[in-house]
Amino acid sequence: MSDRLSSLLHIYRLQHSQTRRLPARSDLHDRAHVRMRPEDIEALKRAPESLQPMVVLFSTTDASEAVCLRTAETVYVRTSKNAEWMPLRVAASHAYVRGMRVSGTIHRAILRLVRE
């Protein structure tokens, strides 16, 4: 399998061209962002109470700031500038080390998020 096809971003359809970047925050990361598929963003806006689990790429704003998230921690996502922060619970996380900008610092994680 080629590197491109084996990439987790490819498997979860989280490549830059297929996602939108949204502001995010957590207990330890005030200024972060997530890359999320457009259909997941629309689902958040329409019916958050019936939201299915979604997979996102969470990144810290500073590449030297390591991602530190716990399972069951709350991540807040904002779908637009005027929208309120939407709480989502981390159901699973996986450090994403491919293409690291700062050696030894894992500043991105692939998360499975569910509605609080």
- φ/ψ of 101, rounded to 5, equals -85, -30
**pLDDT tens-digit map of 76-107:** 999 988 999 999 999 998 877 665 555 667 78
**Which residues is 81 bridged to in the sheet?**
none
Q: Given a cut of 80, is residue 20 above it in pLDDT?
A: yes
- Average pLDDT value for residue range 10-33: 92
Structural domain spans, the chain: 3-115
pLDDT on residue 85: 94
- φ/ψ of 15, rounded to 5, equals -65, 155
pLDDT on residue 73: 92
- 3-115 in CATH: which number? 2.40.10
